[in-house]
Structure 1
């Protein structure tokens, strides 16, 4: 069919063909992110000549949507290299340079994703649901970009400490056969110490702040995904669950940050993002973020049963963490 080699033709089926090709591209690459393996074509898309689809109300929506995906795939390769260098105590200079480049790329595309001014269009050119499609694509792009930034900074911020009992996405799990959770934590701390000795481009605190801000962005954007209007009282998912790994990454960060705050009761103020807030307010933000993620995962699980296991992991960790809120110093 040569859908990947289309030109600028504009017949009655051209737009449908463009969307078919680029969604096929998207699905292939999203699988590589979930499986933590790089696609063959991620480094060179030059053989794909098919123009991007176009939404009249938001001409950049498709471009940003796919750019966020490409950065996500690149971050998978980065994370693999980062871990290998840490475990082998190799020189980290090239890894840190790549980290700076990828982080700058994420920030640039995120700014474009956030700065959206709708373009007015006639109903003949674009029905109302196309505007909603553009909005959802922008929100999903912001979710994916935030998840990518977590992937870039998570190892430095949280030492890859295991939290969830099952293997979800690229999050480390305790090895109950060969090592205890404390041993895994000690190993992660040792690797983090080695990383810091190598003069990384971001400090421990900077990486932590980036992770927390990104996780809260994911939680907010998940809750802002529109719910389809379906008659008959049927509950429908907000979107196809292509961002469940992003939700797991965000949950991990919010829970780990809660435990970090809880472990430093004498710190009167904790830095989060660009604002300095008191401990109680930060914990409220973390809790609300987790509640938003759980609500979204509940919504996804109504139609996609496999997601229930991921949701249950987050819920269990949430209920373990937050009964201790009363002991946090005021």
Structure 2
């Protein structure tokens, strides 16, 4: 059967391909779940930064360059005050990254400026970090968000906001260096925070931690720089610990903010190593470790980490721990195969991890309704609580793929067990603009895990599951992941709806794409299952013709799910340039498997 381009819609028999070509294709598919697979490295030459900065931050009463310049003629999502930025945060960021407490007033509105205004009023590091994310979202007055010039202008503004945020953080926290107890509000260095807070329920002293956590996601999703992602996350963690956020038991008006900041920061980069930290800081560090496949350089279950969970966050943090433990299992399995060490530990540990994940999935499904925690349906906090419940399930399904994929695909050569890419996937070099030095006194930078491919002798390992059982587990986990990702809410800026309806009703991107690695794991598993099904289909064609139609139908159904993964990543890529590479690489892999 051929498509309208005249090429075969399915590959020919396996035997028509050389063994080396088949091995190369499996290895290419395995790279889809490597650290930073497909990320496009986006950078700006230093020579352009100064003039770009002057153009963007020119005072309102001074000319900002030619009125016909790209910055002047493109509608950019800028906001006129910190209050407007905070409202926009609750619409575009909070549903996917609820690091701030619930809004103190409802409803919240998105009020981007109708024309370009100078952002000189911005000096707060947290406001600037949020602005760096918001400006990447297409303006409601823009009809074609994909225009190269429009993409470049948004990139320029985001870079300048991020750079200014780092400078503001460095300036504000510099007096803390040398303080014996920076967490003590009476300490001399903390007097610099005697100013209006960005959020009435967030003490100014922890705003820098939140800003660095947001910038960690920016470095990954927009710049494609995993080194800087981890650097920002580790800065946030170091600063949080210097402020004793890991051991705060106070019950005051700022308690919720401290708890969210701690646990979110730790979990966003460490998601791969599995620890029991605090909520916000914990999430940022865990996610960075998960994305980059680097082991944690400190004890994730440190008994000194005693900050309580925010309400409803326990399952999310436990899911983050599970995905970290599954990545650790995969790395240890790689090492065992490479060194031919005693494999006796593999079977009991794999069975225990699978049982742990299954129990957590059951707990997710039996958890009380979100309405009991955030009763105001449709509010930013209600949407965020619902999304975090889905995030927990997605992470658990991804963890299950991690521990089962070698067992499931052991009959396909060169399938790696851990999130490692091939030698052609180096971690990008650090960017030119370095981070402020003050929050980084504690060195928590992890060492990258080595690249390891599974030798053919892996088939001699004893697993607690049959290959077909693990294959079915991977299939269900991948399909559940895709469904949950597809059901995540889109931003809903009510006051922009009418304006968008008058134009082309542009699709709005979801932000804070911390689950892209989960989407890629699902895509990898589905492609490998298609490869296995193709082998069965070609074998059975000459033996049992009755099975061929069902296998073809299976591949067709999986192909639709794979296209949905591309759509999901493509939505993120509307705002974040680095993710365009992930979208394109996955789409090319699908085309090769089904059409080449």
Q: In which range does the TM-score fall when normalised by the shorter chain?
A: 0.7 to 0.9
Whole-Å separation in 2 of the counterparts to 1:48 and 1:122: 25
Contact between 1:19 and 1:53, CA under 8 Å: does it hold in 2?
Answer: yes
1:14 to 255, 268, 290: 255
Q: Is the 8 A contact 1:157 1:208 kept in 2?
A: yes
**SS of 1:208 mapped into structure 2:** helix
Instruction: Give CA-to-partner distance per residue, 1:27-76, whole Å, 9 cap, x none.
Output: 1111111121222445424211111112xxxx3xx111111111111112
Identify the residue that residue 385 of structure 2 maps to in structure 1. Answer: 134
> Tell me, what secondary structure is at the counterpart of 1:264?
helix
C-alpha distance in 1 between matches for 2:420 and 2:487: 25
CA, structure 1 residues 6+257, in 2 after alignment: closer, same or farther (shift >3 Å)?
A: same
Q: Shift of residue 87 of structure 1?
A: 2.1
The change in CA–CA distance for 1:105 and 1:48 in structure 2 (over 3 A counts) is: same
Name the CA shift for 1:264/1:123 in 2 (closer, same or farther; >3 Å).
closer
2:338 touches 2:454 (CA, 8 Å); kept in 1?
Answer: no
Query: Displacement of 1:89 after TM fit?
Result: 2.5
Q: Which residue of 1 aligns with 2:457?
A: 191
The residue aligned with 2:284 is 27
Q: Partner of 1:115 in structure 2?
A: 366
> 1:222·1:292 contact (CA, 8 Å) conserved in 2?
no
Question: Greater shift after overlay, 16-25 or 279-288?
Answer: 279-288
Give the alignment's TM-score, normalised by structure 2: 0.46
Distance in 2 separating the partners of 1:93 and 1:21? 38
Runs of 4+ in 1 over 3 A off after TM superposition: 40-43, 119-127, 159-163, 171-176, 232-236, 267-270
The DSSP-based 3-state class of the residue aligned with 1:263 is: helix
Q: How many residues align?
A: 294
Q: TM-score, normalised by structure 1?
A: 0.80
- Unpaired runs of 5+ residues, structure 1, are 177-186, 271-276, 325-330
Contiguous gaps of at least 5 residues in structure 2 = 1-242, 266-281, 426-452, 501-505
Higher-Rg structure is: 2
- Residue number in structure 1 paired with 2:419: 170
8 A Cα contact 1:225 1:239, kept in partner: no
User: C-alpha separation between the residues in 2 aligned to 1:85 and 1:280?
Assistant: 37
Structure 1 residue 161: Cα displacement: 4.8
Counterparts of 1:123 and 1:208, CA distance in 2:
38
Instruction: Point out which structure has higher relative CO (alpha carbons under 8 A, 6+ apart).
Output: 2
Q: Which residue of 2 aligns with 1:253?
A: 525
What is the match of residue 350 of structure 2? 99
Match of 1:2 in 2: 244
Give the C-alpha shift of residue 226 in structure 1. 0.4
How far the C-alpha of 1:173 sits from its partner, in A, is 3.6
Q: CA RMSD in A?
A: 2.8
Deviation at 1:207, TM superposition (A): 1.2
Distance in 2 (alpha carbons) for counterparts of 1:158 and 1:281? 21
Change (3 A) 1:65 1:42: farther
1:100-131 per-residue CA deviation (whole Å, 9 max, x = no partner) reads 11111111111112234415459888972212
The separation in 1 between residues aligned to 2:408 and 2:350, in whole angstroms, is 14
Matched, 1:73 2:324: yes
Distance in 2 (alpha carbons) for counterparts of 1:124 and 1:260 = 46
Deviation string 1:11-39 (CA, Å, 9 cap, x unpaired) is 22111111111111111111111121222
Distance change in 2, residues 1:125/1:244 (3 Å): closer
Q: How far apart, CA to CA, are the structure 2 residues paired with 1:239 and 1:154? A: 29
Q: Paired residue for 1:203?
A: 466
Structure 1 residue 88 displacement after superposition? 2.5
In structure 1, what is the Cα distance between the partners aligned to 2:377 and 2:304? Answer: 30
Distance in 2 between the 1:119 and 1:307 partners? 31
C-alpha contact (below 8 Å) 1:150/1:210 kept by paired residues: yes
Match of 1:214 among 463, 477, 501: 477
Q: What is the distance in 2 between the residues matched to 1:306 and 1:209?
A: 32
User: Aligned partners of 2:423, 2:479: CA distance in 1, in Å?
Assistant: 26
Compute the displacement of 1:281 (Å).
3.5
Q: Give deviations 1:274-308, integer Å, cap 9, x for gaps.
A: xxx93244223311211111111001111111111
Residue matched to 2:111 = none
CA distance in 2, matches of 1:158, 1:124: 45
